[in-house]
Structure 1
Amino acid sequence: MFYLKYGECLKQKRIEKNINAKTMAERLSISPAYLSSLENGSRRAPSFALQEKIAEALSLTEDERYQFYDLAAENKQPPILSKDLTEFIYQNPQIIKMLRYAMKCHLTEKEWKDVAGFVYKTYKY
């Protein structure tokens, strides 16, 4: 789905915003060495709290934030989703958009059942 890896994206966005590594590390209250290890891929994506601080420091748009968070999730490979689901979701970007929209709408369990019912009735395999 994405052409960049997490660290590459972080570094590219930092450079685009004309922020040097030392200044960025200071803004995030992390060491320049840790920032460097994130950017070069020798460390996995940081906690979500630090990801939010990074997104804020880089003044990312909502879409850029979502891409950034998705790259971080890809980097971490969360164990709560099986590999086949993770791959399916990232191969179908519309799923991510739909889930984010549903999240913003605060769908209830019944509404999710309605969505699932529509899919089950409409599509057979």
Structure 2
Amino acid sequence: MTPFGSKMRQLRADKNVTQQQQAHYLGVSNAYISALENGARGKPSAVLVDQICVWLGLIWDDAEELKRLAALSHPKPTIDVRKQTPDAVLLANMLAQNIERLDDNDCQILLTALEKRLG
């Protein structure tokens, strides 16, 4: 599941609406909504995210958060480290080769450190 899919599922459940209702409003299939929520599809288009925000009646901050999560929800991200330092190349490779070994706590520790450093 992607961060976007998880958040969209939570927001939809909070509004007590179904995937089918959402799919109908957005003009997409129920299978597509399910795939977005489960991470089987890549990040949605900006237009679709805007439509989801309107449909869910999200206020400014919540809409911006959903858009941010959509941008960070590609299930197969690519990192080009060709012009980076050896440490950056090492970091990218270690993460790629070991991501399945990290639990939620490990991920949260790394995310917190990166967010603190990058602002």
TM-score normalized by the length of structure 2: 0.62
Whose radius of gyration is greater, 1 or 2? 1
Unaligned ranges ≥5, structure 2: 80-87, 89-110
Partners of 2:43 and 2:62 in 1: CA distance: 16
Question: Matched residue of 1:60: which SS?
Answer: coil
Aligned to 1:18: 16
Aligned to 1:27: 25
The number of residue pairs the alignment matches comes to 87
Equivalent of 2:5, from 7, 15, 23? 7
Identity %: 31
Equivalent of 2:115, from 68, 81, 91? 91
CA distances 1:19-73 after superposition (whole Å, capped 9, x unpaired): 1111110000000000000011111121000000001111111111111011111
- Change over 3 Å in CA distance of 1:78–1:48 after alignment to 2: farther
| Greater than 2 Å deviation, 4+ residue runs | 76-79
Unaligned ranges ≥5, structure 1: 96-125
Q: CA RMSD in A?
A: 3.0
Aligned to 1:115: none
TM-score normalized by the length of structure 1: 0.59
